[in-house]
Amino acid sequence: MNATKTKAEGPKLLLSIDDVAVTLGISRRTLFRLRSSGQFPEPDAKIGRRDRWKTATIQRWIDNGGTK
Protein backbone atom coordinates (compact mmCIF):
# COMPACT_ATOMS: atom_id res chain seq x y z
CA MET A 1 0.00 0.00 0.00
CA ASN A 2 1.29 3.44 -0.83
CA ALA A 3 1.11 5.30 2.47
CA THR A 4 -0.18 8.79 1.99
CA LYS A 5 2.18 11.31 3.55
CA THR A 6 1.74 14.66 5.23
CA LYS A 7 3.77 17.74 4.39
CA ALA A 8 6.27 16.66 7.05
CA GLU A 9 6.53 13.33 5.14
CA GLY A 10 5.22 11.24 8.01
CA PRO A 11 2.41 8.73 7.39
CA LYS A 12 -1.09 10.07 7.94
CA LEU A 13 -3.01 8.46 10.77
CA LEU A 14 -6.46 9.21 9.35
CA LEU A 15 -7.16 9.13 5.63
CA SER A 16 -9.81 11.12 3.81
CA ILE A 17 -11.91 9.61 1.04
CA ASP A 18 -9.55 11.22 -1.50
CA ASP A 19 -6.52 9.73 0.28
CA VAL A 20 -8.12 6.27 0.29
CA ALA A 21 -9.04 6.48 -3.40
CA VAL A 22 -5.48 7.52 -4.34
CA THR A 23 -3.99 4.81 -2.14
CA LEU A 24 -6.17 2.13 -3.74
CA GLY A 25 -5.77 3.51 -7.25
CA ILE A 26 -9.52 3.87 -7.78
CA SER A 27 -11.85 6.78 -8.39
CA ARG A 28 -13.88 8.42 -5.65
CA ARG A 29 -17.01 7.21 -7.43
CA THR A 30 -15.83 3.59 -7.29
CA LEU A 31 -15.09 4.00 -3.60
CA PHE A 32 -18.60 5.42 -3.03
CA ARG A 33 -20.06 2.41 -4.87
CA LEU A 34 -18.05 -0.01 -2.71
CA ARG A 35 -19.29 1.74 0.42
CA SER A 36 -22.92 1.79 -0.77
CA SER A 37 -22.85 -1.93 -1.53
CA GLY A 38 -21.36 -2.77 1.89
CA GLN A 39 -18.08 -4.02 0.41
CA PHE A 40 -15.91 -1.40 2.12
CA PRO A 41 -15.35 -0.82 5.85
CA GLU A 42 -17.22 1.92 7.67
CA PRO A 43 -15.12 4.97 8.56
CA ASP A 44 -13.17 4.84 11.82
CA ALA A 45 -13.94 8.49 12.60
CA LYS A 46 -15.93 11.48 11.48
CA ILE A 47 -14.42 14.94 11.65
CA GLY A 48 -17.31 17.30 11.15
CA ARG A 49 -19.13 15.74 8.24
CA ARG A 50 -15.99 14.16 6.80
CA ASP A 51 -15.33 10.43 7.04
CA ARG A 52 -11.84 9.25 7.97
CA TRP A 53 -10.21 5.81 7.95
CA LYS A 54 -7.18 4.56 9.83
CA THR A 55 -4.38 3.34 7.58
CA ALA A 56 -4.55 0.02 9.45
CA THR A 57 -8.22 -0.38 8.51
CA ILE A 58 -7.43 0.10 4.82
CA GLN A 59 -4.45 -2.25 5.01
CA ARG A 60 -6.57 -4.92 6.72
CA TRP A 61 -9.21 -4.56 3.97
CA ILE A 62 -6.51 -5.02 1.32
CA ASP A 63 -5.01 -8.01 3.16
CA ASN A 64 -8.48 -9.62 3.26
CA GLY A 65 -8.70 -9.43 -0.51
CA GLY A 66 -10.82 -6.31 -0.63
CA THR A 67 -13.70 -7.73 1.37
CA LYS A 68 -15.10 -6.67 4.71
The pLDDT tens digits of the residues spanning 41-66 come to 999 999 999 999 999 999 999 999 98
Full DSSP string of 12-65:
PSEE-HHHHHHHHT--HHHHHHHHHTT-SPPPSEEETTEEEEEHHHHHHHHHTT
**Can you tell me the distance from the alpha carbon of 14 to that of 43, in angstroms, rounded to the nearest whole number?**
10
**Can you tell me the distance from the alpha carbon of 68 to that of 60, in angstroms, rounded to the nearest whole number?**
9
Q: At what angle do helices 17-24 and 28-36 cross, to 10 degrees?
A: 100
Q: What percent of the chain has pLDDT over 70?
A: 85
Predicted TM-score of the model (pTM): 0.80
